[in-house]
Amino acid sequence: MNIKAVVFDAYGTLFDVYSIEALAEKIYPQKGVAISLAWRDKQIEYTRIITQSDPHNTSGSKYYKPFWELTRLSLEYTLDRLKLDRSAGQVDMLMQQYAHLAPFAENLAVLHELKAKGLVTAILSNGSPEMLNSAVKNAGMEGVLDHVISVDSIGLFKTAPESYALVEKIIPIKKIEILFVSSNSWDALGATWYGFKTHWVNRQGLPLEALTPHPDFSGADLRSVLDSLRN
């Protein structure tokens, strides 16, 4: 492969969206797992509803809301669905924790090695710029990422093709020279359809999607990206 840039999804790939579980468990005993899973599912569902309901609007979906706002709305829905109290203070505590999600342990070492190879590194995320900047700073990744790209600028969430096209607008190289890395199989599929080389970080040991084509590469954590680049 003649790869010149490695572009990462953020949530679930670089930042552990389920690290919120510990605080959720503290606030709502015996409900931490249920909250973290349902919250994530509803968050992604909202992005799809918005983009699928107005996919061809060149100025962005008229239903668009920033990812931070959708994250809060999906949390409120989740707590209501689970019939849990949701005072403003409790919601604010969980949202502040979401702004500082724990990075996966291997991230920094992998990013440093990619930079040492002379590769461009970037994030492409549904996340709004403010929440991405907060997560990147909290994880100490400011010096190892060349670009942090948010779909907020176009008002369409992944897997809209326009979202993946943002990478080429900001990094002036061909799509076949880009390796896109995501732990979300639906995101890896969308990026593969778009034309990127793709690597699925399969942290949960899930089966491949029945929809094809499958990602070009896969592995259990971010270190597997280095193995893919050697092939």
Catalytic annotation, residues: 9
The secondary structure element, H or E, covering residue 147 is: strand 147-150
Q: Which of 221, 229, 231 is nearest to 4 (CA)?
A: 229
The token pair at 64 is 């668009």
Which SS3 state, helix, strand or coil, does residue 177 take? helix
166-177 CB burial, b ≥16 within 10 A, e <16: bbbebbeeeeeb
d(CA 177, CA 165): 13
d(CA 229, CA 231): 5
d(CA 64, CA 103): 27
Q: Which residues does residue 12 pair with via DSSP β-bridges, in sequence order?
A: none
Which SS3 state, helix, strand or coil, does residue 33 take? helix
Q: Which residues does residue 96 pair with via DSSP β-bridges, in sequence order?
A: none
Check if the beta carbon of residue 67 is closer than 8 Å to that of residue 152: yes
The secondary structure element, H or E, covering residue 95 is: helix 88-98
d(CA 35, CA 30): 10
